[in-house]
Structure 1
Amino acid sequence: MESVFTVWETSRNLYLDYFDKYTLEQLNKIPNGFNNNLIWNIGHIIVAQQALIYKGSNLKGYISDELFELYKHGTKPTGLITESEMEALKILLISMIEKTKTDFYNGIFNTYNERMTGTGFYLSSLMDAFEFNNYHEGLHLGHMMSIRKFI
């Protein structure tokens, strides 16, 4: 499990770099030909992790229903993110790692609801969900690498 967490931490630190390298205006920009922006991708991977790991285990998790609705699968940006909203996402991006690791090692994940993802991956266990989460975050990091070329 340590290697799964190490990959996840590395991925999240790559996402964190976007806050230092791009302005709020750039994070909010949706380039022609794209349907989302850099900041939406960051919000989305936060929400997706909470859904995959916590909701998949019948647990509430640590994000609000409002945040979930803004960034869940099938959504796109509905407006510009403010400085304070950006700061909140930045905190969640990193804080969810320690909270999830603590919860995992404290054994709060007792069940997992098997399911098929929208991309055709069958998740039969919590471990599958953690591994798929890393894959999913890698996909969105790739999307962001494409977007950044046009902002």
Structure 2
Amino acid sequence: MKEHKFFVQFRELRNQTLAIADSIPVHMMDVVPPGFNNSIRWNLGHILVAWDYGIFPKVNENPQMPALYYRLFSKGTRPDAWTEEPPEYDEIIGFLSSQVDEILAVSNGRMDDLIAQPFLRVKYLRGMYSFHIREEQHHLDCIQRIKAAVETSSVVN
């Protein structure tokens, strides 16, 4: 059975995200360089929460990510406001690795289905994939820009 084109895009993009994350030294994960609101850890966590909330409830499934992730990585949150310890880098990477198969499993055969609750102007599951692929690409770009800013500044020695 051929995977839906969005499944292929999602899997390839997530592999890129994991490759970039793997190239970043752990000591850079929580640096917020001047001109940025968030860290690399925040962006990776936000990618998880965005996909989790953007897919599972839309197909009448419970979100899969721990509540801590929603408290720390939802839209509008920032590391400088955290009152809880963020998850370890390895845990975030583990979730990033496993999330793809979990999402594809609940989406298989449903891409043309109406979602449980419309999101912006999106009405079908395929539209949620389109939105979240663009969202992950945006956050991957942010991660790369943060990494470059940290590498060229004296923020981390």
Q: TM-score, normalized by length of structure 2?
A: 0.81
Aligned to 1:75: 77
Per mean C-alpha deviation after superposition, the further-off stretch among 122-131 and 10-19 is 10-19
Report the equivalent of 2:149.
Answer: 150
Deviations 1:113-136 (A, max 9, x none): 1121xxxxx211111111111011
CA distance in 2 between counterparts of 1:81 and 1:41 reads 16
Give the partner amino acid of 2:19. D
> How many residues get paired?
144
RMSD: 2.2
One of 93, 98, 108 as aligned partner of 1:95: 98
2:43 to 38, 41, 44: 41
**Unmatched runs of 5 consecutive residues or more in structure 2:** 151-157
Q: Match of 2:55, as an amino acid?
A: I
User: Whose Rg is larger?
Assistant: 2
Rounded Cα–Cα distance in structure 2 between residues aligned with 1:22 and 1:79: 25
| Structure 1 portions without partners, runs of 5+ | 117-121
Structure 2 CA distance for partners of 1:28 and 1:18, relative to 1, 3 Å: farther
Task: Evaluate the alpha carbon distance shift between residue 105 and residue 146 of structure 1 in structure 2; reply closer, same or farther with a 3 A threshold.
Answer: same
TM-score w.r.t. length of structure 1: 0.84
Percent identity for Structure 1 against Structure 2: 22
1:119 corresponding residue in structure 2: none
Give 1:113's aligned residue.
117
